[in-house]
Amino acid sequence: MRLTGNIIWFFLGGVFIFLEYLTAGLALCLTIIGIPFGFQCFKLAFAHLAPFGKEVVPITPPSGFINTFFNVIWVIFAGIWIALTHIFWGLILCLSIVGIPFGLQHFKLMPLCFAPFGQDLR
């Protein structure tokens, strides 16, 4: 099911989300201040490329203040909008029986997009 789900996900929008995050990551890495946020965009890009069979887990040991500080900045400028997009697409996809697994993937990826510092997808 993982392979089939990832293939369908890839062709029904996963590749576009991947390219969007990849482009944003490259643009953010052009500045010194944006490099940590660019790396998080790369992490999100690969998380959205093949989400089936993976789980969002906290990184141990937690780094503390710096992760919290970067997550607050991320939420203000990008995280809330990305999370709202995941809620929207998750609800739309869950309206049909066939779309439920894909909608659940949006809900699974939402915490990672809301606060990417200190979390990983494994």
Q: pLDDT of 60-78, one tens digit each?
A: 776 678 888 988 998 888 8
Tell me the whole-structure pTM to 2 decimals: 0.78
Q: CA–CA distance from 29 to each of 5, 63, 74 (Å)?
A: 31, 22, 15
Amino acid identity, residue 44? L
- CA distance linking residue 68 with residue 120, whole number of Å: 15
**By the 8 A CB rule, do 119 and 56 touch?**
yes
- CA distance linking residue 41 with residue 95, whole number of Å: 29
- CA distance linking residue 10 with residue 52, whole number of Å: 11
The pLDDT value recorded for residue 29 is: 93
The pLDDT value recorded for residue 15 is: 85
Beta bridge partners of 56: 121
- What are the residue ranges in the chain where pLDDT is below 50? none
Domain ranges of the chain: 2-121
The pLDDT value recorded for residue 62 is: 66
The pLDDT value recorded for residue 38 is: 92
Reference 79, options 44, 51, 29, 28; nearest CA is: 44
